[in-house]
A = this chain, B = another copy of it.
Amino acid sequence: MTELRQNLITRDWVIIASERSKRPHEFAPPLSKLEPLPTYRDDCPFCPGNEHLTGTQECLRLADNGGWRVRVVGNKYPALSDVGQRVRHGEGIFKSLSGVGYHEVVIEHPRHDLNIALMDIKDISNILRVYRQRYGELRKDPRVETIIIFKNHGGSAGTSLEHPHSQIAALPIVPYQWRDRAREAVRYYDDTGECLFCRTLKDELKAGDRIIYAGEHFAAFIPYAALSPFHTWVFPRNHASSFDEITDLEIEDLAQTLKVVMSQFYFGLNNPDFNYTIRSIPTAEQRTDYFHWYIAIIPRVSLTAGFELGSGMYINTSVPEESAEFLRSVKIPSSI
Interface residues, chain A, with chain B CB atoms under 8 Å away:
1-6, 8, 10-13, 15-17, 19-20, 77-81, 83-84, 92-100, 146, 148-152, 156-159, 166-167, 169, 171-173, 175-178, 180, 196, 199-200, 203-204, 207, 224-225, 275-279, 296, 298, 303-307, 309-313, 315
11 additional A-B pairs beyond A2-B81, A17-B79, beta carbons within 8 Å, are A3-B99, A4-B173, A6-B176, A12-B177, A13-B173, A16-B99, A94-B207, A146-B311, A157-B306, A175-B313, A277-B311
**B315→A79 contact, CB < 8 A:** yes
Q: How far is the CA of A146 from the CA of B311 in the complex (A)?
A: 9
Question: Which residues of the partner chain B approach A278 to less than 8 Å between Cβ atoms?
Answer: 310
9 sampled A-B residue pairs with Cβ under 8 A:
A2-B79, A6-B96, A17-B99, A93-B200, A95-B225, A150-B305, A150-B307, A175-B311, A175-B312
Q: How far is the CA of A173 from the CA of B225 in the complex (A)?
A: 15
Closest to A157 in B: B305
Contacts A150-B307, A175-B312, A310-B279: A93 and B4 contacting too (C-beta < 8 A)? Answer: no
Q: How far is the CA of A92 from the CA of B172 in the complex (A)?
A: 36
